[in-house]
């Protein structure tokens, strides 16, 4: 697994931790300009820690779905060329705007990821990656609807949350259904459960078909 340029393991209090270089966004430790990317608060961070090959590289163009207050999106914006960060809840927007004010590469969008037509006039086509972490029902459909922004050799890097689909069904069955749906538009390259750091979440790396 290769980390994107601009992402590295650095020493913090004697321990090697994932980190990016940028302005702190959520009270994380900073040493020599590098700030800890807390994998306990970030599914993408947990994917890197698990050694998953996400296909992300430095200077990527990224569409980030489910940005919340920008914890993970701020780290991606530290190494990417541009990050279009979509979040539909107004509450975390203040924090996301603060993270964006410190980074020219972070473009916050108050939109619903199920309705890509509402931001298609802002987001460029041919992007290198769609990173998805939306706590909503129909996560496979969200990925399919946003496939239009990806380059042919781009990557979907998604964290699927079982409980957002159905709290009563077994997560494995939910993931099986979601992957079958995803395969209508993507070739699935890798999957990995993110337990115990992120319970009942499945990491998925895929490319458009
Ligand atoms: C688990 S949080 C994201 C955390 C964030 N990715 C991070 O690592 O910093 C999931 C987010 O998805 C957002 N969300 C859920 N449905 C959405 C939708 N249809 N469009 C945009 N955002 C959505 C929620 O408001 C919530 O902020």
Please tell me the pTM assigned to this model.
0.97
What backbone phi and psi angles, to 5 degrees, belong to 54?
A: -80, -20
Question: Does residue 115 lie in a domain region?
Answer: yes
- In whole numbers, what is the pLDDT of the chain averaged over residues? 97
DSSP characters for 88-110? --STTHHHHHHHHHT-TTEEEEE
Q: How far from each other are the two terminal CA atoms of the chain, in whole angstroms?
A: 23
Domain range for 140 is 39-208
Q: Which CATH number goes with the domain that contains 94?
A: 3.40.50.150
| CA distance linking residue 140 with residue 44, whole number of Å | 17
pLDDT-derived band at 2 (thresholds 50, 70, 90) equals confident
Instruction: Name residue, tokens 């337990």.
Output: 195
If one residue of 63, 135, 160 were mutated to test the ligand 1 pocket, choosing by the most ligand atoms within 8 A of its CB, it would be 135
Cα 135 to middle of ligand 1, angstroms: 5
Q: pLDDT value at position 132?
A: 98
The mean per-residue pLDDT over the stretch 57-69 comes to: 97
- Reported as a single tens digit per residue, the pLDDT across 7-43 is 999 999 999 999 999 999 999 999 999 999 999 999 9
Question: Does residue 93 lie in a domain region?
Answer: yes
Instruction: Name residue, tokens 């993110």.
Output: 194
What count of Cα atoms within 13 Å lies in the side-chain half-sphere of residue 45?
21
- Reported as a single tens digit per residue, the pLDDT across 82-113 is 999 999 999 999 999 999 999 999 999 999 99
CB-ligand 1 contact for 92 (6 Å cutoff):
yes
If one residue of 134, 145, 197 were mutated to test the ligand 1 pocket, choosing by the most ligand atoms within 8 A of its CB, it would be 134
Cα 13 to middle of ligand 1, angstroms: 31
Question: Does residue 5 lie in a domain region?
Answer: no
Q: pLDDT value at position 69?
A: 97
Q: How many domains does the chain have?
A: 1
Question: Does residue 3 lie in a domain region?
Answer: no
CB-ligand 1 contact for 134 (6 Å cutoff):
yes
Cα 138 to middle of ligand 1, angstroms: 13
User: For the chain, how many residues are written?
Assistant: 209
CA 72 to chain centre: 7
Structure tokens at 112: 């619903």
Question: Does residue 152 lie in a domain region?
Answer: yes
Nearest ligand 1 atom to alpha carbon 66: 12
Residue nearest to atom 2 of ligand 1 (CA): 68
The mean per-residue pLDDT over the stretch 48-71 comes to: 97
Pairing of strands 82-87, 61-65: parallel
Torsion, Cα 208 50 87 141, to 10 degrees, reads 40
Q: pLDDT value at position 77?
A: 98
Question: Does residue 12 lie in a domain region?
Answer: no
Question: Does residue 56 lie in a domain region?
Answer: yes
Question: Does residue 76 lie in a domain region?
Answer: yes
């Amino acid at each position: 697994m290769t980390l994107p340029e601009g992402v590295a393991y650095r020493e913090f209090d004697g321990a090697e931790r994932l980190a990016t270089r940028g302005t702190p966004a959520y009270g994380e430790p900073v040493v020599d300009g590098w700030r800890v990317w807390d994998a306990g608060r970030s599914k993408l961070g947990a994917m890197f820690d698990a050694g998953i090959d996400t296909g992300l590289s430095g200077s990527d163009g990224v569409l980030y779905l489910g940005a919340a207050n920008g914890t993970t999106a701020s780290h991606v914006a530290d190494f990417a060329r541009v990050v279009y960060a979509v979040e539909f809840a107004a509450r975390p927007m203040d924090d996301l705007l603060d993270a964006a004010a410190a980074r020219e590469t972070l473009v916050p969008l108050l939109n619903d990821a199920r309705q890509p037509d509402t931001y298609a006039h802002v987001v460029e086509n041919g992007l290198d990656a769609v990173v998805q972490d939306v706590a909503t029902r129909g996560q496979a459909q969200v990925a399919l609807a946003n496939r239009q922004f990806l380059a042919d050799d781009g990557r979907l890097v998604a964290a699927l949350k079982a409980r957002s689909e159905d709290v009563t069904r077994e997560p494995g069955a939910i993931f099986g259904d979601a992957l079958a749906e995803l395969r209508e538009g993507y070739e699935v390259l890798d999957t990995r459960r993110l337990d115990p750091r992120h319970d009942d979440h499945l990491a998925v790396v895929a490319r458009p078909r």
